């Protein structure tokens, strides 16, 4: 059964009436659901008695010149997609307006430190404060024991893990693999802003990450670092890249010869559309 809840009050009532003694999985989203979102929900359904998918285009995580107004809002179709795929107990929490989450006088920000100042945080000041402030609230309202996030937003998962550890939040974070379209582009609600030729341009993002991954797999550490730096320097000269970096996957710090797993992260602009992608690669020493 899929139940749609539009207010915090109703969620709290439902929570106290039905959640006692049950495991609860939470999947926070901004809606316009695609296979990537649904794979998170599928995992939640397989591991919990009740799953809550939240659909909220969170104004606090958008900058003043970003796409908050044009972000696709498709609640009806989203609910149909969920009903189509699942027969289990699923709650859709879709706050009916922003004041459900940020009522008059709301004045709290949850802020993680250094991790939010690099990569997307450097390009989108305040973005992660908006993310952690809403996610903390969703954790607390749902009293979920498990939460599911996509590797697609790798830095976001690391920031949420940090908040969860630092604040001793009683919830387990699971990171799910990136769901991609056939051409290799990571699925994203923002892909629909792309024309056919934009999409061709956008493919440079996943292709560059694959290219760097193959260098890492084929070369010794020293040789691969030389070759990868050449690729990074040549690509980053193109102003479409917000960033393209190779970092330690565990903490998003610079890599060194002791790093055992790296993450290749990129953010790339096609016109006014900003896309992000990443690949995690284990380092095997000879
Ligand atoms: P969003 O609606 O973009 O805020 O995404 C909601 C959740 O779905 C986040 O945890 C995302 O990382 C995850 N997600 C978005 N796109 C994908 C994808 N292509 N594959 C897997 N997870 C995704």
Clarify whether residues 193 and 170 are in a common domain: no
Same domain, 62 and 116: yes
What's the CATH number where 203 sits?
3.30.1300.10
Among the three residues 122, 152, 176, which one is the final residue of a domain in this structure?
176
Q: How far is the CA of 282 from the centre of ligand 1 (A)?
A: 23
User: Of 155, 176, 197, at which residue does a domain stop?
Assistant: 176
32 plus 124 within the same structural domain: yes
Per-position DSSP letters for the chain, written without gaps between them: -EEEE--HHHHHHHHHHH-TT--EEEEEE-SS--HHHHHHHHHHHHH-SEEEEEE---GGGS-TTSSTTTS---HHHHHHHHHHH--S-EEEE--SSHHHHS-TT--------GGGSSTHHHHSTTHHHHHHHHHHHHHHHHT-SEEEEEGGGHHHHHHHHHHHHHTT-S-EEEEEPPPB-TTSPBP-GGGGG--HHHHHHHTHHHHHHHHHHHHHHHS-HHHHHHHHHHHHHHHHTSTTEEEEEEEETTTSPBP-TT-SEEEEEEEEEETTEEEEEEEEEE----
Considering the domain architecture, whether residues 172 and 194 belong to the same structural domain is answered as no
On whether residue 182 sits in a domain, the answer given is: no
Domain, as residue range, for 264:
189-282
What pTM, to 2 d.p., does this model score? 0.97
**Nearest-CA residue for atom 13 of ligand 1:** 150
Question: Given this model, what pLDDT does residue 286 score?
Answer: 52
Q: How many domains does the chain have?
A: 2
Domain boundary (132, 150, 176) is at 176
Q: Which atom of ligand 1 is nearest to the CA of 179?
A: 20
Is 181 a domain residue? no
What is the whole-number distance in angstroms between the Cα of residue 58 and the centre of ligand 1?
14
**153 and 224 part of one domain:** no
Pair 85, 224 in one domain:
no
Q: Please give the average pLDDT of every successive group of 10 residues along the chain, which has 286 residues.
A: 96 94 98 98 97 98 96 98 94 98 98 98 98 98 98 98 98 98 98 97 97 94 92 90 97 92 97 97 79
């Amino acid at each position: 059964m899929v139940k749609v809840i539009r207010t915090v009050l109703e969620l709290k009532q439902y929570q106290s009436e039905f959640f006692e003694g049950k495991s609860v999985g939470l999947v926070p989203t901004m809606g316009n659901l695609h296979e990537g979102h649904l794979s998170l929900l599928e995992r939640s359904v397989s591991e919990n008695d009740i799953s809550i998918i939240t659909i909220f285009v969170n104004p606090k995580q958008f900058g003043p010149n970003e796409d908050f107004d044009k972000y696709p809002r498709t609640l009806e179709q989203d609910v149909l997609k969920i009903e189509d795929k699942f027969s289990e107990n699923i709650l859709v929490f879709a706050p009916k307006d922003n004041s459900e989450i940020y009522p008059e006088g709301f004045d709290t920000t949850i802020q993680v430190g250094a991790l939010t100042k690099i990569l997307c945080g450097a390009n989108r000041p305040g973005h992660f404060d908006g993310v952690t402030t809403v996610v903390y609230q969703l954790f607390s309202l749902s009293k979920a024991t498990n939460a599911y996030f996509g590797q697609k937003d790798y830095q976001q998962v690391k920031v949420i893990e940090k908040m969860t550890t630092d604040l001793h939040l009683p919830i387990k974070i699971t990171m799910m693999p990136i769901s991609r379209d056939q051409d290799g582009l990571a699925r994203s609600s923002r892909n629909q802003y792309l024309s056919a030729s934009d999409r061709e341009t956008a493919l440079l993002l996943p292709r560059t990450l694959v290219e760097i991954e193959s260098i890492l797999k084929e070369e010794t550490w020293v040789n691969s670092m030389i070759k990868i730096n050449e690729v990074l320097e040549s690509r980053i000269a193109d102003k479409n890249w917000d960033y393209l970096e190779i970092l330690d996957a565990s903490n998003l710090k610079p890599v060194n010869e002791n790093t055992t797993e790296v993450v290749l992260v990129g953010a790339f602009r096609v016109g006014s559309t900003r896309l992000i992608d990443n690949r995690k690669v284990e380092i095997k020493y000879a």
